[in-house]
Structure 1
Amino acid sequence: MACRTFLSALGVNAPSVETVVENPKVSPGGTVRVVVTAVGGGADVDIERVRLEVVVRAEDLELGGKASWKHPYAVATVDLEGFRLPAGETVTVRGEVVLPWEMPLTHALGAPLAGGRAAIRTELAVDKSVDQGDFDEIEVHALPAQDAVLQAFTDLGFELREAEVKIGFLPEMAPRMESRQTLECWQEIDFIFPESWKPGRQELETVFVAREDSLDAHPGGLPAATFVYARLNQSAWTQKLEKHVLGHWPSR
């Protein structure tokens, strides 16, 4: 839900800004449509720039605890043209932000994903100052292929635990993954091994690297199993995933 925020950079009688996300439920590769409404304060001002950022909660930045979200990380940015805002007048601008295919998820299998958070952050450059005028959370739902792979893990007895975003490039940190990552962050989705796959096995961290036509799933920091969207078949994909994981972590 949008709320009007006064631009603190301009002090008393400052303009206010309200951001409305027209489609707060979206998937990777989708477009978020945003309406920004500015209401003039006690004097005319020049809004030099309106910046729309898609931000996510990255655990690398949250040093104060896992429940906090004090330092969101931007994964996509669009700058809109500035405008003159007369005192007491209202100006409305529209913008769109395309989510990257590798966009971290907040929802999967029809439910919220623990640890996943995303938002649209609106920044206005006013009088050579930058003011973060609004912050609106959005839901990023899994692609059908991502849901199918997550369902395959569930069908194999894995328990979905949580997700967390890390900043950096996987090929630099884990060369054996042979990742095709392009976004400068990735999302780990943590599963608990089923009892039948023990002893001594706790969590299996899986990274998705999505593209327009296919998806790489890297279980346990190893090379990917690739799933092509046009060939989505739940039973076949479950068997493929089981074979891939068993190749590295054989059951008893």
Structure 2
Amino acid sequence: MGFKRFLAAFGVGGPSVDTVLTGYGTRPGALLEGHVELTGGEVEARIDEIAVALAARVELESDEGEQAAGAEFARVPVIGPLTLAPGERRSLPFRYPVPWQAPITDTAHGPLPGAVLGLRTEVVIERAPDKGDLDPVRIHPLAAQERVLDAFARLGFTLKRTDIETGHLAGTRQEFPLFQEIEFHPAPHYAHEIGEVELTFVADPHGMDVVVEFDRRGGMFTPGGDLYGLFRVEHRDADRLDWTEVAASWIDHALDRHRALFGGYSGHGHGGYHPGHDDDHGGGLGGVAGLALGAAGGLAAGYAAAEIVDEVGDLFEGEEEDAEE
């Protein structure tokens, strides 16, 4: 699969570029492989650089409400300066290391609504980048991510949508100033207390931080508002834990803290088991009761910082229309 375009800088009769991916899906921390096919035009073409980068649709807050923009991150060079002769053909292979914190777009049960991700090929000519359209990329979850999502489904939470936002989640190992939120409608068992649940995975080679945000319903004597939980999960535990029990304990831990502060019904009978607790990492809810969104975090090693771009590609626009329908 791939896309082909003519480089605008050379006008009519200029060279063309076609990016072809090997396979259609990958996972965080894995490789995305393919090759860039160049075909020379009617005249010689000098190209400064060719690079590839993942791009995602990001929700930006503004005075006019939420707006969608394209965000590029993890740019990887394919080749440096080259001269393409008229009619010459070149095939340039690349291996793109997918960031551990790349958004996920699909699960074993199908695509995640609202998750739009693609690979963009950038051709730099006289220091001016010619940014192409997006070739859709499917990012499947890591095993631990899949287990957590399945556990929430078994508890009765139904998937609502996903989006990618800008900001930094305090207390996490976040590398890019972007994070994905996976939103669920409340399970019937918790609907009297919870209006919505949002999950964010911040993965790394060893495990992942799981941020759980609860939209807490208010009552006659108890205020509503958001509750936050921060939990640590190791990849090696993906097939060793009862994830339904784990997820239930996360939810009850958050609600029990709120009940202890403001009174009210206590406990759903899931006990006080809190896996992945790491006192040095703000494990459990206690260290992150005031979890905040602040300025952008540091850069991922070996990658450029995420870049928010003004234009929103055709892929983003089409997805936006589908979401509105």
Q: TM (normalized to structure 2)?
A: 0.69
Q: CA deviation at 1:61?
A: 8.1
> After superposition, where does 1:2-41 map in structure 2 within 5 Å?
2-41=2-41
* CA–CA separation in structure 2 for the residues paired with 1:61 and 1:2: 33
* CA–CA separation in structure 2 for the residues paired with 1:64 and 1:124: 34
Q: Of the candidates 200, 203, 209, which is equivalent to residue 207 of structure 1? A: 200
Q: CA deviation at 1:243?
A: 1.0
Query: 1:123, 1:134 within 8 Å by CA — same for their partners in 2?
Result: no
* CA–CA separation in structure 2 for the residues paired with 1:28 and 1:241: 22
Residue 183 of structure 1 pairs with residue 176 of structure 2: yes
Residue 218 of structure 1 pairs with residue 218 of structure 2: no
State how many pairs are aligned: 244
- Secondary structure of 1:88's aligned partner: coil
Residue 229 of structure 1 pairs with residue 235 of structure 2: yes
* CA–CA separation in structure 1 for the residues paired with 2:28 and 2:65: 27
Query: What amino acid does structure 1 have at the position aligned with 2:3?
Result: C
- Secondary structure of 1:224's aligned partner: strand
Partner of 2:120: 121
Q: Closer, same or farther in 2 for the Cα pair 1:234/1:160, shift >3 Å?
A: farther
In the TM superposition, structure 1's runs of 4+ consecutive aligned residues that sit over 3 Å from their partners are 61-66
Query: 2:49, 2:81 within 8 Å by CA — same for their partners in 1?
Result: yes
Q: CA deviation at 1:191?
A: 0.8
Query: What amino acid does structure 1 have at the position aligned with 2:243?
Result: W
Q: Which runs of 5+ in 1 are unaligned?
A: 172-177
Q: CA deviation at 1:200?
A: 5.3
Query: What amino acid does structure 1 have at the position aligned with 2:60?
Result: D
Partner of 2:74: 76
Query: What amino acid does structure 2 have at the position aligned with 1:185?
Result: L
Q: Closer, same or farther in 2 for the Cα pair 1:62/1:125, shift >3 Å?
A: farther
Residue 152 of structure 1 pairs with residue 145 of structure 2: no
Q: Please say which of residues 95-104 and 228-237 is displaced more in the overlay.
A: 228-237
Partner of 2:246: 240
Structure 1 residues 96-138: Cα deviation after superposition (integer angstroms, max 9, x where no partner): 2111111101012331000111111001012443212342111
> After superposition, where does 1:41-80 map in structure 2 within 5 Å?
41-60=41-60, 71-80=69-78
Calculate the aligned-residue CA RMSD, in Å.
Answer: 2.4
Query: What amino acid does structure 2 have at the position aligned with 1:123?
Result: E
* CA–CA separation in structure 2 for the residues paired with 1:106 and 1:64: 27
Query: What amino acid does structure 1 have at the position aligned with 2:9?
Result: A
* CA–CA separation in structure 2 for the residues paired with 1:238 and 1:225: 15
* CA–CA separation in structure 1 for the residues paired with 2:252 and 2:184: 15
* CA–CA separation in structure 1 for the residues paired with 2:90 and 2:125: 15
Q: CA deviation at 1:190?
A: 0.3
- Secondary structure of 2:243's aligned partner: helix
